Amino acid sequence: MRAVLASLPVELCGLGDVPPMPEVVEDGDTFEANALKKALSYAEQSGLWTLADDSGLEVDALGGAPGVHSARYSGTGDDLANNRKLIAALAGVSETERTARFVCCLALVGMGKVLATARGTIEGRIIDEPRGQNGFGYDPHFYVPELQTTTAELTPDHKNRISHRGIALLSIIPKIQLLLESEH
């Protein structure tokens, strides 16, 4: 997030830069709901504009699962266990039916209200054999046909430009710039 938002004329800080706050329980039914819940809670606790995201993987053959449960799909929160469960769930599903997307939803909250939101997606399909060392989570199994690569094979800079999170962040930048201009 910091790399993509670095062009904004603001001081960016993360949760590690502010006094400790209770972790927000992500129990929403949608990525949007979870991003908004986190942003509202952390903005209220910190008194600062807060940008929060929620993201995950939606696999069509699995009815959109793992969805909002992506990080804890296996029940352990472990990337390898999550990937093993995903590949097992897709056993017998043909390559053409393994369509999927990464989704990222952002919410910017300040002064007790929602200031901006954004959503980004990247389409691909799930492959059985992991490829690549970059990224995390489902990246080694998420193949992007147009690029003929998995997202784990992309450089961080390339991934920032085309990933679900990168797309969402790039689309919220103009909204933040307008908010900053209206403050002056």
The domain segmentation of the chain, as residue ranges, is: 54-183
Specify whether the CB–CB gap between 80 and 2 falls below 8 A: no
Residue 60 pLDDT class (50, 70, 90 cuts): very high
Specify whether the CB–CB gap between 99 and 125 falls below 8 A: yes
Mean pLDDT to the nearest integer, 147-173: 94
Q: pLDDT tens for residues 62-88?
A: 999 999 999 999 998 899 999 999 999
Q: pTM (2 decimals)?
A: 0.93
The residues assigned a catalytic role are 54
Specify whether the CB–CB gap between 126 and 100 falls below 8 A: yes
Residue 89: half-sphere exposure toward Cβ, Cα within 13 Å: 18
For 54-183, CATH gives 3.90.950.10
